[in-house]
Structures are given as structure tokens and as C-alpha cells.
A and B are shown apart, each in its own frame.
Chain A
Amino acid sequence: MLETSICNIELRNPTILAAGVMGSMASSLNRIYRGGAGAVVTKSFSLKPNPGYRNPTTVEVTGGVINAIGLSNPGVEAFREELKLVDEEVPLIASVYGASPEEFASAAASVEEYADMIELNVSCPHAMAGCGAAIGQDPELTFRVVSAVKDAVDAPVSTKLTPNVTDIVEIARSAEEAGSDALTLINSLGPGMKIDIKTARPILSNAFGGMSGPAIKPVAVRCVYDVYRSVDIPIMGVGGVRDFQDAVEFLFAGARAVQIGTAIMYDGPEVFMKICRGLEAFMMAEGFSSVDEMVGLAHD
């Protein structure tokens, strides 16, 4: 009943671990899958190792967290070693980032053999200059990154977009025209910040960080809704999904699956199973027999 597919990748259910959350190691990716997720996205990897920012890198705010981990990762060589250890049956989406179309293409090509799909992080709101949202806010740069990756790999490619743009539809179309096979909407919002009022200091060492969690869900649902009407490729919705009702909203807005991240802070890795149980009960009560029937219903 919960089965769905994206770009011909069969998923046992539409819940997916979002990039950047418990995604650096095969052990945690396997754990999340065994715990109930339909697929997993790795933490974003780059060609060279990156220690990320100094702590504090995460702080809770009303309705979620802001984080500036700084895309820390051990580099693509070590990443390949981890991916080899991910269980065979786990649908795996490898998230990559770089500072140029060539870096994206090279990183994607070197992990392609271990991944069912490549997700392009052109949307991190706290990456170093030239990476992340600096790309995803520019339709032309987005087009060039997606094209370069599509030339370099055979695996399907999803482009993860930032909501921090005037018109997300324009960027989404640009990614689609460049050959993106799917879209992931949205990355964290902002950047935002939190200041300690006793010392007048920004708490995050980077001062700013990306906002995630329940508070960004309305923005994410709107982005999915907007983009669904304007593109023909499948969408993975992400942003503030914490319970099955949230997942249903995303499906109705036009997503074929939902990615889940910050909810693990509140509910643990069991959140995937919890959402799937709720979703199944909802579908039975409402007379849906497949996830497909629900996708985009809010548009009718």
C-alpha cells in the first residue's frame, strides 16, 4: 500500500532520510533503513575532506533548529568506502556538492556505482562562498551544474533547491531543462540566527545557519505546490515533516515522497516507522489504495 517509485527506483514506503542527518556513515544509514525508512540520502560529500565549522554548529529555536555544520565530510574517497558498506537492499541517494560544475560532476561520477540516485546540493544556505545556495539561486549556474552531472553519470539525478529565491519555479525549470530527473524541495530556510541575550553573542560559530523543522513546513509545502504545476519530473518534498499528516500535505501538494530530518531530534530514528503507520491508517480510512493516488490532489 505504501509502495511508491521515483525515477524507477522502487521504494517500500515514501519516507526518506533527508541529507545531512545521520548520513555520514554506512552504519547509521543502515540503521535508519532497518528502522523503517523507504530510502536514505547521505550527507553531502565533496571531493576533498572538510572538517566543517567549529562548534556550536546547532541550536534549537522555536519550531526547529538552525545549523551550520559547514558541510563537513571525509571526502569522496572515504565516502566510497562507506557506501560499499551500505546494505544491498537499501535504496541509496548520494548527496554531493562542489564549487563548480566540474567538481559536482567528478564527485557524482566517483560514487555513482554505489548509489541508486545522485542528489545535487546546490542549496546549502551556510556553505563556503561559491558552493551551496550561491549556485541554486542562479538559474544559469544551476543549469550548468545539472548538465555537467548529467553528462558524467547514468544514474538518475535529483536537484535539491533552496527556498531562498524570488521564484523557485524558475530555478526548478532550469534544473528540469538541464536534464534533472527529479527535484528535492526544499533545503533549509534562511540563513537565520540566534543571539544569546546575556552576552550579546551569536550562538553559532558561523553566526548564521539554515533553519529546519516544523516551522518551515508551510514554506516547503508551498514550494512543492508551486513547482508541481510547472514541471513534469517527480518531486521529493522535505521541510518540517514530523507526522503522517505532514506527509499527506506534501503528497497532496505534489510530492511523490517525503524526506525527514529534524524530526529525528524530537522522535528518534523511529519517526519513519511512526509516520508510515499513520499514513497507512489514514489511507485505509480515506479509501486510498496507493500513494500515487494522493500525489497532487490539492491541485484538482
Chain B
Amino acid sequence: MDSMNVPEVLEIKRIVEESETVKTFIFSWDFRREVRPGQFVMVWDFRDEKPMSVSLIDHVRSEIGISIRRVGEFTGRVHGLSEGDLLGIRGPYGRGFELMGRNLLLVGGGIGMAPLAALADEATARGMRVDALVAARTVDELLFLDRLEAAGVNISTCTDDGSCGFKGFAHERLLELELEHDMAAVCGPEPMMFQVMRILDENAVPTQLSLERYMKCAVGICGQCCLDDTGFRVCAEGPVFWSQELSRIREFGRYRRDPAGRRVPW
């Protein structure tokens, strides 16, 4: 058998339309290769390959799902695929979320809810109380609300334009909540996470956040996803980091790198 570092070509078993711009692609998965919420896979459409986080981990039906927002050429091509079409998947890679305590807070922005949806499933199955702050620009982009509700998650929503729930940014909404959770898990646009982390740190809530960087090899050698100043590799030490770790990452919330390695401000 080939190693996990070779794309395995899988049939798309089902496609779920989550919103106008987001689809979840579901594959049969052999769980001898364990997947944790927060880990990612490299998705190959035979022309290009991008990292995508795993949004569904179903041990009972032996399935995993990957939720993809249509933003550019690659994601546009993948959105054009149908059930039965093929995609290459290698991985999973990186360090996922850890669960601890009894009360979990999720803060997700846009497609950042993808790994948190998988985490919510695991946490509720373990009997944890889960509060989720689901944020997006508009009501159409709020993701996984039905799925979270079915899992028993207490949801509050927040939109930039006020089209659903609180009008404003996630960190502004967070200031109004009782933050007495045993832990928080956060994923979304980096400027959002930067603000959210500050508030959760002030409230002494142990927090894990999932970072996104341009990936090439995903196996820890190319160095493309290394973070300043520690040199942590997002593909190996991440993509999930504790806030104490991110407090040592000078580039967090400030810049990322393009495929050539040039700095690009957020």
C-alpha cells in the first residue's frame, strides 16, 4: 500500500450544498487512517492541489467530508464536480484540536466553521456542553446551523450586516457573552482570530486556533508554511495552535506569505 503521502483517488460519494458558495464533498474513508477534527488533507483535482480541512468525521458510516467555499479557479473546478467523480486525497496532516473539560466554546467565521463542525460532533458525542458563535458576513454565509442544532449545540449568530443575529464582528459579540468555558476552539479569517484570541486570553479561556498558510509539500520539508519567529510549520506543528504558542508568532494577524515566499499583509 502507498503511504499517506501519496494522493489516494477517491469517488465523491455525496455532495451537500451548505450555502450558495459552500459544498461539502463526502468520501468513504478507511479509519485505519485516523482523522482528528482540525486536521487537513491535500485535495488534488489532477491539475492543482490545495489544503482543505476535514469538516465531517463519521466513524459509523465510515465517511469523511471536506467543505469547500468557491473562491477561485481550483475551488470553482471542484464545485463543478458531481457525485461519482474523482478527487485525489492525501493526508490527513497536522495537529488537530484537543478536547478537555465540560464546556466548549466554538467561534467560527465563514468557512472557518468547517473544522469546528467536526469538533462539535465529537464534543457533543462525549457529552460536553457546546456553545457556538457562528459568524459570517451575511445570513447566507452562516454555515452548518442545522447540523449544529441537531447535535445539541447552543448557537448564537453574528453577521457583519446584521442580516441574522448580532450585527457586527465576532469579537464584539464575544464581549457580551459569559466566557466561563473550559476551552475554546476558533477558526476563521486571521484578523478575526487575532481579535477573538485577545478577548479569550483576557478571560483566561484556554484557546486553540486553526491557522491557514500557503502549502506546498504538507509533509514538513518545503518550509513554505513556516511561521515567524519560531519556525513552526503549519502543516506539522499546526494547523491548530494554542494561544500561548500563537502569542510567540509575530506574523499572526499581520502577514502571510505568497507562493514565492513574499510577505503579504492581511
Q: Chain B contacts of A65 at CB under 8 A? A: 5, 217, 219, 221
Is residue A218 within 8 Å, beta carbon to beta carbon, of the partner chain?
A: no
Give Cα distance in the complex from A186 to B92, angstroms: 32
* Interface residue from A55, A75, A199, A261 paired with B216 (Cβ < 8 Å): A55
* Interface residue from A30, A54, A58 paired with B48 (Cβ < 8 Å): A54
- Chain A 19-31 interface mask (CB, 8 Å, partner B; 1/0): 0111111111111
Is residue B261 within 8 Å, beta carbon to beta carbon, of the partner chain?
A: yes
Cβ contact within 8 Å between B216 and A49: no
Is residue A289 within 8 Å, beta carbon to beta carbon, of the partner chain?
A: no
Is residue A184 within 8 Å, beta carbon to beta carbon, of the partner chain?
A: no
Q: Shortest beta-carbon distance, A215 to chain B, in Å?
A: 13
Cβ contact within 8 Å between B223 and A268: no
Q: Chain A contacts of B152 at CB under 8 A? A: none
Cβ contact within 8 Å between A55 and B221: no
Is residue A203 within 8 Å, beta carbon to beta carbon, of the partner chain?
A: yes
Give Cα distance in the complex from A61 to B90, angstroms: 13
Q: Shortest beta-carbon distance, B255 to chain A, in Å?
A: 12
Which of B23-31, B96-104, B204-212, B225-233 binds A? B225-233
Which of A66-74, A95-103, A165-173, A275-283 binds B? A66-74
Is the contact region of chain A dominated by helix, strand, or loop, or is it mixed?
loop
- Chain A 197-211 interface mask (CB, 8 Å, partner B; 1/0): 011010101000000
Q: Chain A contacts of B168 at CB under 8 A? A: none
Q: Chain B contacts of A29 at CB under 8 A? A: 231
Cβ contact within 8 Å between B223 and A25: yes
Give Cα distance in the complex from A55 to B47, angstroms: 8
Report, as a range, how many residues of chain A touch the other chain: 35 or more
Identify which of B50, B86, B224, B258 gathers the most chain A CB atoms within 10 Å of its CB: B224
Cβ contact within 8 Å between B7 and A23: no
Cβ contact within 8 Å between A22 and B226: yes
Question: What residue in chain A is nearest B51 (Cβ atoms)?
Answer: A55
Cβ contact within 8 Å between B262 and A22: no
Q: Shortest beta-carbon distance, B90 to chain A, in Å?
A: 8
Cβ contact within 8 Å between B221 and A198: no
Cβ contact within 8 Å between A51 and B259: yes
Is residue B44 within 8 Å, beta carbon to beta carbon, of the partner chain?
A: yes
Is residue B81 within 8 Å, beta carbon to beta carbon, of the partner chain?
A: no
Cβ contact within 8 Å between A60 and B3: yes
Is residue A286 within 8 Å, beta carbon to beta carbon, of the partner chain?
A: no
Q: Shortest beta-carbon distance, B229 to chain A, in Å?
A: 5
Is residue B155 within 8 Å, beta carbon to beta carbon, of the partner chain?
A: no
Cβ contact within 8 Å between B217 and A58: yes
Chain B residues near A (Cβ < 8 Å): 2-3, 5-7, 9, 42, 44, 46-50, 86, 88, 90, 215-224, 226-231, 233, 236, 257-263
10 contacts between A and B (CB under 8 A): A22-B231, A24-B223, A27-B229, A51-B260, A54-B47, A58-B221, A59-B5, A59-B90, A60-B2, A67-B217
- Given A22-B223, A268-B220, 4 more contacts at CB 8 Å? A59-B5, A60-B5, A69-B216, A74-B257
Q: Would you list the 6 A-B pairs with minimal beta carbon distance, nearest first?
A: A31-B231, A60-B5, A55-B49, A58-B217, A22-B223, A28-B231
